[in-house]
Amino acid sequence: MTSPRGSLRPRPPTLLDRRRRRVDELAEASGRSLTADAFRRLRRNPVAIVGAVIVGLFVLVSILAPWIAPHDAATAFPELQRTLRPDSIPGAQPGFPLGSDQNGRDFFSRMILASRQTLLVGVLATLIGLVLGVVIGALAGAFGGWVDTVLMRVTDVLLSIPSLLLAISIAALAAKPSQTTVIIAVALVSVPVFARLLRGSMLAQRESDHVLAATSLGVRRRSIVLRHMLPNAMGPVIVQATLTLATSILDAAALSFLGLGDGDPARAEWGLMLANAQSYLDVRPALAFWPAIAIILVALGFTLLGEALREALDPKGRR
């Protein structure tokens, strides 16, 4: 029984169709792991692809930076400095596609090389926060009881301080402000977030059937926590880490803007360049414009990827 083409009413499923679908479902359920399933959904999501392309380009540029950049980041060029005045910064000219920065250095090369430092800030800050947060969250989630209570009380208090204010307080403790103190401050702020998230999903794991099964099989507690609970509880944390990559870069830029960063003018990092460019906004807005665009794009890329990951890993979103 076939319906004519162009008919508005869909053909009612035949028995064969239903059987076929059932087999497909079974194959899907047995043949693919959760991760592979999530990855498949990720690949079909245009948001994920846009995010991945942006992030991929960013990583690629930062890896290839020394070969792409025509000049060094710290060298000042006499041909640029010759026309450099407090009220005029030379623009594009042969050999210097984006012109000069405020110190007569090649702005284009600095933009390219800064991708490395920016990636470093984001990745290091996120990684430190992630590791510390995972350790704390796993301890709280695995032990429960008073360990859980104490750790979660402290994280609650840290979460009750607005994150940028907390980062400011931590960064201000440094006797000598530097890129490192900025990274540490930004990293520490994300620790309570990671800890709370992981603890929450560890608790959910503790109640789950497979943990019960492992316990009744006599698996050691240590390996239940490390091999059964932790890997399954990491989903939300990974999503959060992707989003944190974006906020870390933004927060580091804000700290630089407030003067808590690295005064080192030789260092090329987008947040720092954007912060320093504020004094030259009237003279040459491009100095702020390009780092800002770069930061916005990268933050957007990580955010898109994170959101797509969240959707892919969230069982509620599955049809």
Binding site for other proteins (CB under 8 A): 153-154, 156-158, 160-166, 168-169, 172-175, 246, 250, 253-254, 257-260, 271, 274-275, 278, 281, 285, 288, 292, 295-297, 299-300, 303-304, 307
φ, ψ dihedrals at 115, nearest 5°: -55, -35
Going by the DSSP 8-state scheme, the letter that residue 279 receives in this structure is G
- Residue placing its CB nearer to other proteins in the complex, 157 or 266: 157
Euclidean distance between CA atoms 105 and 79, whole angstroms: 10
- Residue placing its CB nearer to other proteins in the complex, 3 or 278: 278
Residue 124: CB minimum distance to other proteins, A: 19
- Residue placing its CB nearer to other proteins in the complex, 131 or 173: 173
Token pair in block for residue 3: 């319906």
Give me the residues paired with residue 96 across strands: 93
Residue 257: CB minimum distance to other proteins, A: 5
- Residue placing its CB nearer to other proteins in the complex, 230 or 299: 299
Give me the residues paired with residue 51 across strands: none
Token pair in block for residue 163: 């994150």
Euclidean distance between CA atoms 59 and 244, whole angstroms: 16
- Residue placing its CB nearer to other proteins in the complex, 219 or 300: 300
- CB-based contacts of 167, cutoff 8 Å, min separation 6: 185, 186, 188, 189, 251, 255
* 237, 194 Cβ separation under 8 angstroms: yes
Residue where the block lists tokens 């607005």: 162
Longest pairwise C-alpha distance within the chain: 84
Which residue stretches of the chain are H helix?
15-31, 34-44, 46-68, 78-81, 107-143, 145-159, 163-172, 179-206, 209-216, 221-223, 230-233, 235-257, 270-277, 286-313
Residue 93: CB minimum distance to other proteins, A: 25
Euclidean distance between CA atoms 201 and 232, whole angstroms: 8
Residue 118: CB minimum distance to other proteins, A: 12
Residue 68: CB minimum distance to other proteins, A: 24
Residue 78: CB minimum distance to other proteins, A: 31
- Residue placing its CB nearer to other proteins in the complex, 91 or 289: 289
Residue 140: CB minimum distance to other proteins, A: 15
- Residue placing its CB nearer to other proteins in the complex, 59 or 174: 174
- Residue placing its CB nearer to other proteins in the complex, 15 or 175: 175
In sign, the C-alpha dihedral spanning 186, 188, 193, 195 is positive
- Residue placing its CB nearer to other proteins in the complex, 54 or 211: 54
Residue 292: CB minimum distance to other proteins, A: 5
Residue 253: CB minimum distance to other proteins, A: 5
φ, ψ dihedrals at 266, nearest 5°: -80, -25
Helix (H/G/I), strand (E/B), else coil: 100: strand
